[in-house]
Structure 1
């Protein structure tokens, strides 16, 4: 999939999209494998997205590159499904993908903002993100929920990924402001984070934003960029984070 474009500042486009719009019956047993998705102009939308009542999925061995918004997005709480109970992407694996050269800068929907992740879990739960490569994006991996209150990204496992030379940060958890949800019960382990924060925005290698609660961060390898930031915590409300200094 390539050269799919929207040119309107309020427009939207996707390369691959799966929307679960019914409940309780989910779209399930989905496999998205071995695709190349590139050179897309997406507006407010994403290159490869699963949204709503979707479960039991595998997104593997894909390449997503050279797009002007998020590479892979797993979404909940957007009222795509008619029941709030089922309106959440869940129970899936994202593995052995390569996602690079993703930036929202220049996208008419975002102007000069640097805010597009290689992968974004926005309100998903029970998802494994492992053995992927994310580089030269605005953010490597972002896990949170854009919806305020108890709507969280929950039980996400981020393991054995290579995340390097991303502009703002390598891995981000928690909402980007106090109007968002957050990240709970998530494990970040055995990842290599190398010289992220290349734009000098003080996001470091690992960024903890609003409502990052009860997460476990261990056995990662981190190398700082010229900004010299490794782990950045922006909010005192964050609590019960397990970060042993000797085994970050």
Structure 2
């Protein structure tokens, strides 16, 4: 378990689901600039930054090629990382084919599964959130196909111009991948991530469960000292999480 202790006046920040590149590069550009502005604003006060997945609407790393674009956000992440501020990235269902580019180029640690962190003596379970909990069987089957080594090997033999175009088309059009149809609160009993968190609490205590994926800013009290947080998105809500050594808050960037 990684332990983080915040310095005086420092905070830990969390953001998810920017979906840069969707629905087109031109329409995505204002969101990218806004997200970069947020990164610039929090840089001086950040002890650490957690990016919780689906930063890109589609991402695939060939051996020598990554998708074109996103230079503003990648440059800002490099600047922050070079300044010694740790950034932790959790792949989402749209960028699950991320390999070692972020680690090698940006010195950003990449996780493919939820991880435990101890932040100022508060225990966090952190992840993107896709495929967790009961239900969602169609997506879980699809994810197994997309992450199957033979499928990834076959896809990488497509020319990048074709592979990236195909991936972008599927990412935007397929509701099972994008999750757009789920972007409304279903009630605690029907929220799969809430059920997942409650089940995890029967095994271990966590002060905070922090996830993305649902595109809804949510704060749900699970027990007296345990809370589920969903970070929302940077498409409609422009929300982010802020932990200041004692309190976790959802904030909106204007």
Q: Which structure features the higher share of helix residues? A: 2
TM-score, scaled relative to structure 1:
0.26
Q: Which structure features the higher share of strand residues? A: 1
